[in-house]
Structures are given as structure tokens and as C-alpha cells.
Chains A and B, each alone.
Chain A
Amino acid sequence: MPLTEGAEEILETLWIELKERKKPSCNPGILKDKDNLSKLVDLGYVNIVERAATLTHSGSEEARSCVRRHRLAERLFVDILYVKKGMVHDTSCKFEHLLHKGLDDNICTLLGHPKTCPHGRPIPEGKCCRDIKALPGKIIMPLSELAVNKKAKISYLHTENRSALQKIIVMGALPNIEISLVQRFPTYVFQIGKSQFAIDRELASCIFVRLI
């Protein structure tokens, strides 16, 4: 039986608190939806001992999947469907609920296995990401995989490294800008408008583009 929207929200909150913020446990007080919480406890997904909520093994599998579907939905809305940023979260909450298992891998493949949501939070890897790291015909790909002279538009930048991000910004490689590769070897040379820049592979793989 699929979980309700409210239950999925709770699992996501727990995932963020426990796995991403690395807290040992979570105060159930912040999980407002008591009905759904007790349902999750009954299903064996969540343990509550002395006002500290933790995820069980099967619970964290489930939570991981919820987070993944939610963030993939956000990526889909922002990159492909151009939903306004302010509306992304609410729409994604609803949509994620409809993305049943297996379907998320299809969306993930369509998007080119993105690593982060539009807010920069990591998307947990799916089976598809591990299986087929380089599937041909991706819609979104890092600049380092773009063919020479093909026109593309920048979708998003992804890097943990702030100074790398700064460098890319300085070159004017920003989302929604048209970009093409002049050459790939020995170094990547890309063209934006009338300007050309040479960058190494590391920087080129931080810029994600969509073919146009």
C-alpha cells in the first residue's frame, strides 16, 4: 500500500535531519502530523524511544526513495518544464507522490542522472545511476560530454567547490546562456556569444547543459 503524502513528508524530514544533517535522532515534536507518524511506527519504518525518533533500516530505504523522487521532480520542473521557482516545492510534493518506484529511474535517466536538486541539495543515487553511468542520448549532460559544435543551453552549475563556482561565474557561464564547444582536446574550449574560454575537465564537468 503506498504511503500518504503526509507520511512521505515525515520520512523526508527525518532523512534530512538524520542523514544529511547527521543528527543522532530527531525530536518528534517537529513532525506535526501525529496520525501519519504513528502509522509509520506501526509499519516498522520509524522508532520512537524517549522522545527521539530514528529511522529503521526499511524506513531509511523508504525515506531515501521519497527524497530522491521529490528532488528529481524539482529538477524536472525547473529544467524541462520551466515551472517558476516559487512554485516548485509544492508541485513537487504532489508529483513525487505519483512517481512510483521504477518511474523515478525513467525520469532520472531522462534528466541525465542529475546530482543535485535546483536548491543544490544532493539527490540520492538510484539503480539507474549506478547501472548506466553513460547512457547515450541524454538530454542533460556535463559540458565535458557535449559534442563539438553542438549548440546547448546551460541548465545548472554543480560543484561543491566555491572557488570553482566563482571561476565559472566570472566567465559568464550561467544558467540559460547558449554555449557550444569549440574543441575538447587537449583542453576544453567553449564559446559563449563572441567569447571563447579554455577550461580543464574538472571545471567543464561542473557545467550541466541541455542540447537545443
Chain B
Amino acid sequence: MKEDYKGPVEYSIEIAVETIEILLKDDYGLSRRAIALLLLQDDREIREMVKRKEPGALGKIDDILNEAKSHYINPITYELALERQNAVKAITARVVKVKKGNAPFREKLSRLTMNPLTGLPILFFVLYWGLYKFVGQFGAGTVVNFLEGTIFEKYLNPFITGIFTKIVPWEVLRDLFVGEYGLITLGFRYAVALILPLVTFFFIVFSIIEDTGYLPRLAMLIDRVFKKIGLSGRAVIPMVLGLGCDTMATMVTRTLPTKRERIISTMLLALAVPCSAQLGVILALLEGKPRAMFIWAGTVVLIFLFVGYLTAKLLPGERPSFYMEIPPLRLPKLSNVLTKTYVRVKWYFKEVLPLFLTASVLIWFGQLTGLFNIFINILKKPVKLIGLPPEAASVFLFGFFRRDYGAAGLYDLTKRGYLDGVELVVACVALTLFLPCIAQFLMNVRERGWKMGFGISAFILFFSFSAAYILNFILTKTGVAL
């Protein structure tokens, strides 16, 4: 046997590559050899490209591909990977030296984040300081209050309203722009003064977490639990993003590999993942009532798992599989974090601002035609059913359009003594589960289509009240004092 004899295996790949190279005439911007190799690996895009450019050659190429494939039991991708591996080994063996040493500190820390015993407390620490303290208290509290309360309400809104009052004589049209729910006074203000800072702060934290390499570790910690609800550890990224903004997180579900995973995660985001605006309000309402907070959190987590489990059972499809590189832990670079945050906020704004403006127009229309009062009357029944005073109906409707408004309604009700501890917890659970804001609804429709978007909303409408009803029943029967 000659030294350079490659054997029948490698031989037929090489022959196939060379024959395909001769058949290809057009210019592909890549070498013909690369195109041939990609065709052998069943690359769909390249196949489409060849089909477009040289439909005549495709028949002959397919013959060669089938001939080559018939020589192997393993896919050709696999055979090529083996070849590549050998080539890489031969090169690195000559030029790379590996120093041996003890596991450095970062490796030890990495193990701690991946061990459930230490990893879960670390996760709690990250969530508490990153999300609750920084995004929730500082971003949503201090910064939003300044932007919204001072800049918009004191200076900008009166100024712009003044201009419109002077130049637009029709009240209806004026309301569309500067009224209580106007395009500028509500839609634009809401997007710029409330969502923009919230999302910016959230993205800063998210970029830091991302750049340290923590996310894959979180994904691996949670994979087992997520498998039970038809998702893989990978879905942890949209879920964590959802704690910032569900609308954006729904957009990010695009990165999940199967349609089934995308549907399940869209559903769970809409139902049981509270966004930072919701979280801020609810945490403020339940402050100082640790037991109520515990019941609220426990119920929402249980529902998240329960509905996920059911959806996974009902939806047909392949079980997701999980694989992810665990990069070494690194200290994030400030410039990278800032660039990423900037790019993301810009992208987010471009996608979401139109949705908020649409919402403003819808509210204006609802007020103008009296549709809102009809909806509030319809909502009063289920609201009574879950043990809340009928005044809470408007909280739910407005919550759908304007979280802060809905929340303010809840504050008022609590202050005036309409709500006791149990009612407050029930209201918080219902509001968390209830239809997401209108922007997210529009996003669901855009990403998942009309049928799925409406289907999910109808289910949530029914489910949120049912769950609140059951919770109210249990809490009143057991006589828990909150």
C-alpha cells in the first residue's frame, strides 16, 4: 500500500468535488471547490443559489451527490469533519504549546456558578442586585420619576399642549396628539420617559451579565427544569429578557431553534413573565408584606411551570435538545457594554416606538367612541367573581394600555381601603397573568400570526381570571391573614 493512498472513503469525496467543480460555470463569489463541498454537506442556501444560477447543472450535480453519498453510511458532513479535525491536529501539533498549571481562580468560580448548591444563591444575588436594585429601584424609580415627573409633566407636556391648543382648533384632533392619551403626551412620553430608561438600565445589566459569560451557565443550570416545559436551557435568554420587557423578549424568541419552542415561550412570556414595569408596580404594592409577596411569587412560578408543562404535553413536536458552549468567565469591558447597550436600545426603540404610537391611537379611538366604557362594564363581572370590587375593572383595561395608569388605580384602591391583603395578592396575580400590554399583543400577532396571537390572548384572558378565582377561593377558605 502506498503511503499517500487515501482509501475509498476520502477518494470518492474528492472525485465528487472535482466533478462538481467542472460542472459549475457561474461565478458565486466563493471558490467552486467551496461551493462543491457545501453542496456535499446539504447546505440549503447554496443549493438554492445553484438552482437559481444554473438550473441545468443541478440534475447532474444531484447524480454525483447521490453517488458520493451511497459510499458512506455516515453523513458526509461527518466524514468531512473528521478530515478537517485531522488537518487541524497536524497543524496545531507543530505550532501550539500548552502550558500546564492548576485551575485558575476563574475556573474555580466557573465551577461554583455551575454547581446547583452554589449556583442558585449566585443566581439570586445577580437577580437581586442586578434587576431589583439597579433596574427596579434605581432605573424604574429614581430615573423614571425624574424624566417623567419633572421633564415631561412639568416642562415638555405643558409646552407642547400650549402649541397645539393655539394652532389646532378641533378638540377631537387635538386630543389625538396632546390629550390624556395623545400620541405625544402619552405614546411618545411613555416610550421615551418610561420605557427608554427602563430598557437602557436593563440592557446595561444584561450586557454585563452576557459579557461575563454567565448566561450559558444559567442555561445549563436550568435546562432540566425547562425540558419539563418543552423548552431547553437556551430559552433562558428570552425569559430573562422578558423580566426587562416582554415585547422585546417575544422578538428574541426568534433565536430558538424550533417552532414549538417559539410558541411555548411566546405563551409563557405573555402569561407568566412580568416585565420590569409590572415588577416595579407589584413590588411596590406588596412592599412590607413578605407573606403576600411570597404567595404572589410562588403562585406565578407555579403557573409558569404548570402551563408550560401542559402546553408541552399538548403541542406535538420533537423534544428540544440542549447544547451550548460554556465560555470562560471574563471581566466585561466597559466600552463593549456601552456599545452593545446603545445598539440594542436603538434597535428596540425602532421596533417598539411605532407600537406605542399605535396604542395611543387605539386608546384615543376607544375613548372617542365609548368602546372603553363598554369593555369596563364587561370586565366588571369577572372582576367581582375573583373577589375584587368592581372599581378594579378599569385597572385591568388600562393596565393593558398603560401599566402605570393601571397601577396608579390599584394604589388608589388600596389607599382608600377597598382592598385588603388577600384581595391585593389576588389582584397582583391577576394583573401579572392578565393580557400583556398592547405592544406585546401586537408583537405576538406579528411574530406568531393572527391566529396564534389571538388564541394566546383568549387563553390568557380566561386563564388569568380562573387562576385568580381559585387563589381567592383558597385564601379565603383557609383564612390566611395577609
Contacts and interface: CB of A to CB of B under 8 A. Distances in A.
Interface stretch (A14-22, A61-69, A127-135, A194-202): A194-202
B8 to A, nearest CB: 7
B80 to A, nearest CB: 9
B224 A186 contact: yes
B224 A169 contact: no
Contacts of A187: 220-221, 223-224, 233, 322
A143 B114 CA distance: 19
Contacts of B74: 120
B28 interface: no
Nearest to A118: B73
Contact of A171 (B221, B222, B325): B325
Interface string B78-99: 1001100100000000000010
10 contacts: A85-B7, A120-B73, A165-B77, A171-B325, A186-B221, A189-B114, A198-B219, A198-B325, A199-B322, A203-B321
B9 interface: yes
Contacts of B85: 172, 174, 177
Contacts of B8: 86
B92 to A, nearest CB: 9
Given A120-B73, A196-B326, 4 more contacts: A157-B78, A166-B77, A167-B323, A187-B224
Contacts of B75: 162, 165-166
Contacts of A32: none
Closest 9 CB pairs of A and B: A198-B220, A120-B73, A196-B326, A200-B322, A187-B220, A169-B81, A186-B224, A199-B323, A119-B73
Given A166-B77, A185-B116, A197 B325 contact: yes
Interface string A158-190: 000011111111011011010000110111010
A202 B114 contact: no
A189 B7 contact: no
Given A86-B8, A162-B75, A186-B224, A195 B325 contact: yes
Contacts of B341: none
A203 B322 contact: yes
A121 interface: yes
Contacts of B220: 186-187, 189, 198
Interface in A17-32: none
Interface in B199-243: 216, 219-224, 227, 232-233
B254 interface: no
The CB with the most chain A CB atoms within 10 A, among B78, B115, B221, is that of: B78
The CB with the most chain A CB atoms within 10 A, among B9, B224, B322, is that of: B322
Interface string B152-168: 00000000000000000
Nearest to B110: A196
B7 A86 contact: yes
Contact of B223 (A120, A182, A198): A198
B227 A198 contact: no
A169 B77 contact: yes
Contacts of A186: 116, 220-224
Contacts of A86: 7-8
A107 to B, nearest CB: 22
Nearest to A193: B98
Contact of A197 (B82, B114, B115, B326): B326
Contacts of B291: none
Interface string A31-65: 00000000000000000000000000000000000
Interface in B297-325: 319, 321-325
B195 to A, nearest CB: 34
A107 B115 CA distance: 38
B326 A167 contact: no
Nearest to A186: B224
B333 interface: no
A200 B223 contact: yes
Given A86-B8, A197-B325, A200-B321, A121 B73 contact: yes
A203 B326 CA distance: 16
B133 interface: no
A165 to B, nearest CB: 6
Contact of B78 (A169, A183, A197, A203): A169
Contacts of A185: 116
Contacts of B78: 157, 165, 169
A84 B75 CA distance: 20
B384 interface: no
A198 B7 contact: no
A130 B207 CA distance: 51
Given A85-B9, A165-B75, A174 B323 contact: no
A203 B77 CA distance: 18
B60 interface: no
B259 interface: no
